[in-house]
Chains A and B, each alone.
Chain A
């Protein structure tokens, strides 16, 4: 079992080829940095919100917004004082607290942050990490790098369980009547136990990898592969459409 963000589903976004979605990640990032005007950004962010609502369901907007609202509030409150150019909009006795440029830049930052976060969330929510690694392998990421990521993902739940077990064991040894746990006294014994347990697994894992042929020069075989349909054409067309949607503000600039 892997603790991942992916939720299975049958939406179009779920069925879209993982390689296309991997290509889309840097494009989403780039697209939100192209416009310097809030209006195209508003349209892009609205498109991303609509995508999340239609493809994943309205309830899926709640978890990211719940996490994001403090940052969005900070951007809203703290950005205008750092951008004081342009005509004053708000300020007592001629002192410009909020300017038109400040408001415009605040809107740009808010929409950019929201759009990028939700865009990444929608993609990561619909690609399993196994498919993501297989997609990266297709893009020629070295086998050893993909192997490291795969082993790491498989090891995380085991280590999390080890952490909980060791913490519980140490809690039994600690005097809980002293109140708040102290950083060094509480965590050093637990961390030491967990790390010794972890590093002891390294030679065992290395031996297991060698016994399964890792390090040999002959070509490797693999049972795992990306689930591919009969044609990649719909996925490529969808990617082209997504690129057009993401970068239409560039047409306005010209």
Chain B
């Protein structure tokens, strides 16, 4: 197969970041999953966790940060959250990838990485929210962020395992 002979060239890195950033934007902006109680969550965190587990921490950081920042930029009223999302989700992708990469295919480490990622994401948005909206409104966003993060980790780990099984060349694309 052509893909198995590929080396991780600069063009390959550019392509992987761009495609997975686009996936992150689409899952953040377009896909809305209804919650059992009320409201919606998006699946942007799924793309970040998937990218970090399969393609490594740097892909996770760059694609996750850029994808969510573009989603904010394209949303209109939330455009000014773009730099915050770039940093918060970038850090989330980096940490998930670093922790999960210690021992690839270890689900416990992937869960641990995902939990650290959720903590960083929810903490980052809380800090930014306190700064921009005040303590009260920022605290109300924490449960939603935690639910969204948990769904992202759960689905991200499941989907990463499914994709690695269905399309094994991806195993060699980690950088």
**Chain A residues near B (Cβ < 8 Å):** 3-5, 29, 63-64, 67-68, 71, 74-75, 77-79, 81-82, 105-106, 109, 112-113, 116-117, 119-121, 124-125, 129, 144, 147-149, 151-153, 155-156, 158-160, 163, 180-181, 183-184, 187-188, 191-192, 194-196, 198-203, 205-207, 209-210, 214-215
| Interfacial chain A residues near B10, Cβ < 8 Å | 144, 214-215
Interface residue from B9, B54, B154 paired with A215 (Cβ < 8 Å): B9
Q: Known contacts A148-B66, A183-B151; decide if A68 and B22 are in contact (CB<8 Å).
A: no
With A71-B133, A71-B137 known, 15 other A-B pairs at CB within 8 A are A5-B73, A5-B74, A63-B76, A78-B134, A82-B135, A117-B78, A148-B17, A148-B18, A152-B66, A156-B22, A163-B26, A195-B159, A198-B19, A200-B167, A214-B10
| Interfacial chain A residues near B107, Cβ < 8 Å | none
| Interfacial chain B residues near A148, Cβ < 8 Å | 14, 17-18, 21, 62, 66
Task: Give the CA-CA distance A209 to B19 in the complex, in Å.
Answer: 13
Q: Known contacts A183-B33, A191-B159; decide if A206 and B167 are in contact (CB<8 Å).
A: no
Task: Give the CA-CA distance A215 to B9 in the complex, in Å.
Answer: 8
Task: Decide: A206 and B74 in contact? CB cutoff 8 A.
Answer: no
Q: Known contacts A202-B19, A215-B10; decide if A195 and B31 are in contact (CB<8 Å).
A: no
Q: Known contacts A74-B136, A183-B155; decide if A206 and B31 are in contact (CB<8 Å).
A: no
| Interfacial chain A residues near B16, Cβ < 8 Å | 202, 206
Q: Which of B6, B9, B77 has the most CB of A within 10 A?
A: B77
| Interfacial chain A residues near B154, Cβ < 8 Å | 183-184
Interface residue from B9, B54, B66, B136 paired with A210 (Cβ < 8 Å): B9
Task: Decide: A188 and B159 in contact? CB cutoff 8 A.
Answer: yes
Task: Give the CA-CA distance A65 to B23 in the complex, in Å.
Answer: 28
A123, chain B: closest CB distance, angstroms: 8
- A199 nearest in chain B by CB position: B170
A38, chain B: closest CB distance, angstroms: 14
**Total residues of chain B contacting the partner, CB 8 A:** 62
Q: Which of B15, B36, B50, B133 has the most CB of A within 10 A?
A: B15
Q: Which of A116, A125, A206 has the most CB of B within 10 A?
A: A206
Interface residue from B26, B76, B132, B173 paired with A121 (Cβ < 8 Å): B76
Interface residue from B15, B22, B140, B155 paired with A74 (Cβ < 8 Å): B140
Task: Decide: B15 and A209 in contact? CB cutoff 8 A.
Answer: yes
Task: Decide: B76 and A64 in contact? CB cutoff 8 A.
Answer: yes
| Interfacial chain B residues near A119, Cβ < 8 Å | 80
Task: Decide: B9 and A153 in contact? CB cutoff 8 A.
Answer: no
A39, chain B: closest CB distance, angstroms: 19
